[in-house]
Structure 1
Amino acid sequence: MGSDYSKDGCVHNPPMDERNLKVLKDYLRNYELPKGHEGYVNILMFGMVGAGKSSTINTFLSALDPNGRTTTCVPTGTNPDSLTTELRSYKLGKLKFWDTAGWNALEPCQETKVLLRLILEGRIPIGTNLHDFIPTSAKVNPVILGNVIHGVAFVFDTTVVDKISDDIMKQFQDLQTIVAQKCVYRVVIGTKFENLGIEEKNHAWIYEYKPLQQKFIQLSASTGINKQCMFVVSNQWNGDQITMIKQILALYVLEHMIRNIDRYLKTTA
């Protein structure tokens, strides 16, 4: 595969075949919460403006389609509604994905921390404009049980990881610490890895690709999140079908989150 590939720094090795795809899809589409829990598994997409949060939800929904048909139900790109300002949710089966405004567009920083806590605790109604929302006390914002977040996917554009300023990264560290304190499961999802120079025919070996491994090392050092909890998702496709490899990359991280969340829920039933 050439000098750009190395298994030494490879953190994941998902089987890239139809059988594995079926197993992933069946598990996630038919997932049921443990006894004592009702509703949905709520997964929050959290990241900077333009990182690919909304696109990643579209990829998850497309990969979960029985026939891999693509969907664009979450506004992205040139769509006039693509700049997310509201708290939105999209569900399939027992999985519910939450989309938010880019955290670096919310001011001031201190209020952003309070806002994240309220979202994690399920205290902000769907449709709330996050740019206009003024965080207040918990008494004013009661818990909506069906909105409590179980997992957070921190979404990063892999092409700009080494260009994020120290101040912005420090803000992110504070935000991810809040998630950790709430005992909410968290992962990092890297997007736009295609722009690192890997050809589509080699996407099956993306985790062995040295430029991506370097991005994981940088992110791990900056965020304190273990590389084993870092994944990639491709949000680029042509036509109305998403390829098997892109489906597996998306469902692999989703399965990882759901299995860990499921274990936690079984201890809190």
Structure 2
Amino acid sequence: MGSSYSNDNAVHSPVFNRRKLESLRDYLLGYQPPRECGKYINILLFGMEGAGISATINTFLSALDPKGRITNLAPIERNRKSLTPTLNYCGSNYLRFWDLAGWNALENKNDPMQVFNMILEGRILPGTDLHEFNPSFEDKHSIIPENIIHGVAFVFDMNTFDNIDLYIMKQFQELQTLVAQKYIYRIVIGTKFDQLGIPERYYSYIYNYKLLQEKFQKLSEYTGMDRRTMFAIINTSRGDKIGQTRCMLTLYILENLVRNINRYFKMIE
């Protein structure tokens, strides 16, 4: 593959074949959440406008479909000026993926840390417009057990995260620290790596790609998260079915989330 790739700094080594893909999908579709989770495992996807949060949720749902059909349940807003940070979720079996439309779309009148904390605790109802939500009345919003977040994925566009203000990155660092303090499993998902110049025939070696490794290292420094918790995903759709490589990368992320959430609950029993 040439000097653009390195095995030494690869953070993951997923196996790419049809048998492994089906094994992962069967495991995820047949898995039962820990008793403490209730009926669902709730995963919050969190990032800036344009990072690809809704597209990532649709990729998750497409990869979980037994026939690999492209799913577009999470609406993708094309007009960024009209974005409203509304808390919503889409689900597949026991998995629910929670989405709000861009952290930087939240108005300054709200305390981001307090709002984020209330989302993690399941205190904010689905469909809530966070522009209108007042977190100062936290005691009036009781915890809804089935809405408690069990895993968080911080989503970054691999092409633009270098341009995020360092003050905003500091906020992300504080937010991921809050997640860690609540003993919630957290990862980073890098989107749009297909725009980094890697030939499509090498997508199955994406974690060996030096440019992505360098970006993961920089994200680790910015956010304070370990590079081993960082994953890459392809959200670009072609045709009406998800491709095998794209599907494999997606299921690999979901398996990591599920297994580690399960491990977290076993550790605190």
Report the Cα distance in structure 2 between the residues aligned to 1:242 and 1:82, rounded to whole angstroms. Answer: 29
Query: Which residue of structure 1 lines up, in the alignment, with residue 155 of structure 2?
Result: 155
Query: Which residue of structure 2 lines up, in the alignment, with residue 51 of structure 1?
Result: 51
Query: Which residue of structure 2 lines up, in the alignment, with residue 191 of structure 1?
Result: 191
Contact 2:110/2:135, CA 8 A, preserved across alignment: no
Q: 1:7 to 1:120 in 2, by over 3 A?
A: same
Q: Deviations over 1:63-90 (max 9, x none)?
A: 0011111011111153899945211011
Query: Which residue of structure 2 lines up, in the alignment, with residue 135 of structure 1?
Result: 135
TM-score (norm 2): 0.95
Contact 2:110/2:134, CA 8 A, preserved across alignment: no
Shift of 1:268: 4.4
Contact 1:161/1:215, CA 8 A, preserved across alignment: no
- Gap regions ≥5 residues in structure 1: none
Q: 1:8 to 1:109 in 2, by over 3 A?
A: farther
Aligned ranges 1:43-82 → 2 under 5 Å: 43-78=43-78
Q: Deviations over 1:130-164 (max 9, x none)?
A: 12211124321100110000000000000012222
Q: 1:225 to 1:102 in 2, by over 3 A?
A: same
Aligned ranges 1:201-220 → 2 under 5 Å: 201-220=201-220
Aligned ranges 1:84-123 → 2 under 5 Å: 85-108=85-108, 111-123=111-123
Q: 1:3 to 1:151 in 2, by over 3 A?
A: same
1:21 aligns with 2:21: yes
What percentage of residue pairs aligned between the two structures are identical? 51
Shift of 1:41: 0.3
Report the Cα distance in structure 1 between the residues aligned to 2:195 and 2:181, rounded to whole angstroms. Answer: 34
Shift of 1:264: 1.7
1:49 maps to a residue whose letter is E
Give the secondary structure class of the aligned counterpart of 1:45.
strand
Report the Cα distance in structure 2 between the residues aligned to 1:8 and 1:205, rounded to whole angstroms. Answer: 13
Contact 1:29/1:93, CA 8 A, preserved across alignment: yes
Shift of 1:190: 0.1
Higher mean C-alpha deviation, range 123-132 or range 163-172: 163-172
Shift of 1:107: 3.0
Report the Cα distance in structure 2 between the residues aligned to 1:111 and 1:57, rounded to whole angstroms. Answer: 26
Contact 2:85/2:105, CA 8 A, preserved across alignment: no
Equivalent pairs, count:
269
Shift of 1:237: 1.7
Shift of 1:180: 1.4
Q: 1:36 to 1:223 in 2, by over 3 A?
A: closer
Contact 2:183/2:264, CA 8 A, preserved across alignment: no
Give the secondary structure class of the aligned counterpart of 1:159.
coil
TM-score (norm 1): 0.95
Report the Cα distance in structure 2 between the residues aligned to 1:234 and 1:159, rounded to whole angstroms. Answer: 13
- Gap regions ≥5 residues in structure 2: none
2:220 maps to a residue whose letter is S
Report the Cα distance in structure 1 between the residues aligned to 2:83 and 2:236, rounded to whole angstroms. Answer: 18
Report the Cα distance in structure 1 between the residues aligned to 2:112 and 2:48, rounded to whole angstroms. Answer: 12
Shift of 1:40: 0.1
Aligned ranges 1:171-250 → 2 under 5 Å: 171-250=171-250
Contact 1:75/1:81, CA 8 A, preserved across alignment: no
Higher mean C-alpha deviation, range 160-169 or range 255-264: 160-169
The alignment's C-alpha RMSD in Å is 1.8
Query: Which residue of structure 1 lines up, in the alignment, with residue 31 of structure 2?
Result: 31
Contact 2:187/2:230, CA 8 A, preserved across alignment: yes
Q: Deviations over 1:89-127 (max 9, x none)?
A: 111111111011311221328611100000000000010
Contact 2:122/2:145, CA 8 A, preserved across alignment: yes
